[in-house]
Amino acid sequence: MIALFAFLLSASAATFSHTTPLPELAANSQAVVQGVVISAETRVKGHDLETHYVIAVEQTLRGATLETVEFTLPGGKFEGKTQRFTGIPLWSEGDEVIYFVPQQAGKDTAQRVLTVDGHQLIDSLERPEFPHTSDELKVVLRK
């Protein structure tokens, strides 16, 4: 079990950013896995919502083999209202995701991803350009 916070993407909802090459993101991850959301529980945190996800790993694309991964992301749905933070996905049970397991937890995990070429991310945790399928991702990761 790994309870961490960043480096993740939805396989069906890839986002694009020019801030970081994918190989760099992969190199800074202890593993890259593809799996299915088996639990998504939203809770109130102060004035905000956060959702704790459990992912059942179906395929390890790179690095250590893991059975499940867990992490918590800001936002969620609670009592008929959805709180969205730009760039942060909201998943439901059954969604297929690809997850870049970070080397270590902490709020600095995305910094090296996001500050490149003198630019600073205005907001969100957007991920770099991403292959369309896990097979394509494998090709990138093997390079």
Partner 1 sequence: MLLALTLLTAPAQAWEVLQTENGDPVRFVEMPVAWTYDDSQVPSDIENDAHSSAVADSMDVWGQVEQGGVTFEKDGADANTVYWEPNWEWDDALLAITSTWATDDGEIVGFDTRINGEYANWGVDDENKMDLQNTMTHEIGHALGLDHNPELYEATMYPTASVGDLSKRELEADDGDAIRYLYGKALEEEKPLFACNASGASSSMIGVLSAAATLFLRRRKA
Binding mask 111-130 for partner 1 (x = CB under 8 A): x--xx--xxxxxxxxx----
The DSSP 8-state label assigned to residue 46 in this structure reads T
Residue (of 75, 73, 89, 71) closest to 126 by Cα position: 89
Residue (of 5, 20, 11, 15) closest to 86 by Cα position: 15
Among 27, 41, 64, 92, binds partner 1 (CB under 8 A): 92
- Tokens representing 24 are 């760099």
Stretch that binds partner 1, among 23-31, 33-41, 51-59, 105-113 (CB under 8 A): 105-113
Beta strand 3-4 with 68-74 is parallel
β-bridge mates for residue 63, sequence order: 31
Q: Is 59 a binder of partner 1 (CB under 8 A)? A: no
Q: Is 108 a binder of partner 1 (CB under 8 A)? A: yes
Dmax of the chain from CA atoms?
Answer: 46
Q: Is 1 a binder of partner 1 (CB under 8 A)? A: no
Query: Smaller CB distance to partner 1: residue 63 or 131?
Result: 131
Site residues for partner 1 per CB under 8 A: 6, 10, 12-19, 47-48, 74-75, 80-87, 89-92, 95, 107-111, 114-115, 118-126, 132
